[in-house]
């Protein structure tokens, strides 16, 4: 066998191992969205939907994600509380229920994250995207590693939350308008499942039940008054305060 053939086989084998391990860096693909064209097409439709709900583009936003039901909820400020604008289906996420622990484990994160304008990417190779901000202070306190964990389009995921292109276009335009309208950052709260007592009981034997009980504290505060709580990390656990 020629040396070049041997090297080619070895390279293919290495790529396969890296891909299966989750360590393969995504190839560069030029941005797939023309944001001006997206705005021209989607903004009028969004404005109509928002008007029907007495909501407005540019209002503060808040996002919740539920893994088990593959749902992303987009909430918008309406007076003194947040109102649910729309629930979008998540095309794909990777891994199982439970947090992301390390780079390359293929897990999509769970926890409380924050997104600023600098985390939006209109030139994403996955149509449009924003970085959720993993690892946060909680993740770092537990020694968790990972990078480039996104909500994006294209319906494919390696640790991210992938939406349809139409879905991410609406989400992107709404969160972009909120940040341009003066919201300094918006929360992305990610849960393994709907945090009902029944679901908690069904998963009581999981190794992550303690972590999930901590997540449920923040979940329940929002459910009570429809305002995202102020979140900090103390002694390797999330702490919450009503705003």
Q: Which residues are catalytic?
A: 152, 160
Q: What is the DSSP string of 87-138?
A: EEEP-EE-S-SS---STTS-PPP-EEEEE-GGGEETT-TTSSEEE---S-HH
Residue 134: both structure tokens together: 């993993």
What secondary structure letter does DSSP report for 156? -
Residue 113: both structure tokens together: 């994250």
Cα–Cα distance between 21 and 184 in angstroms, integer? 36
**Whether the Cβ atoms of residue 87 and residue 63 lie closer than 8 Å to each other:** no
Cα–Cα distance between 41 and 29 in angstroms, integer? 24
How distant is the alpha carbon of residue 27 from its chain centre? Answer: 21
Cα–Cα distance between 3 and 17 in angstroms, integer? 21
Cα–Cα distance between 141 and 235 in angstroms, integer? 8
**Whether the Cβ atoms of residue 194 and residue 64 lie closer than 8 Å to each other:** no
Cα–Cα distance between 164 and 103 in angstroms, integer? 25
């Amino acid at each position: 066998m020629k040396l070049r053939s041997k090297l080619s086989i070895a390279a293919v084998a290495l790529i396969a191992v890296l891909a299966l391990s989750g360590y393969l860096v995504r190839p560069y693909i030029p941005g797939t969205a023309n944001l001006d064209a997206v705005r021209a097409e989607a903004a009028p439709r969004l404005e109509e939907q928002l008007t029907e709900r007495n909501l407005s583009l540019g209002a503060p936003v808040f996002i919740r994600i539920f893994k088990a039901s593959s749902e992303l909820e987009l909430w918008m400020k309406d007076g003194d509380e947040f109102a649910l604008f729309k629930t979008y289906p998540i095309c794909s996420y990777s891994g199982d229920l439970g947090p992301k622990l390390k780079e390359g484990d293929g897990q999509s994160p769970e926890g409380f994250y924050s997104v600023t304008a600098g985390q939006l990417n209109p030139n994403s190779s996955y149509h449009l995207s924003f970085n959720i901000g993993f690892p946060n202070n909680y993740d770092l306190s537990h020694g968790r590693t990972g990078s480039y964990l996104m909500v994006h389009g294209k319906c494919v995921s390696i640790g991210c939350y992938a939406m349809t292109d139409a879905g991410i276009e609406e989400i992107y335009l709404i969160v972009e308008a909120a940040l341009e309208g003066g919201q300094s950052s918006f929360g992305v709260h990610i849960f393994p499942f709907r945090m009902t007592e029944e679901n908690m009981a069904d998963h009581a034997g999981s190794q992550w039940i303690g972590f999930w009980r901590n997540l449920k504290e923040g979940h329940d505060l929002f459910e009570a008054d429809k305002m995202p709580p102020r979140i900090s990390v103390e002694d390797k656990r999330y702490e919450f305060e009503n705003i």
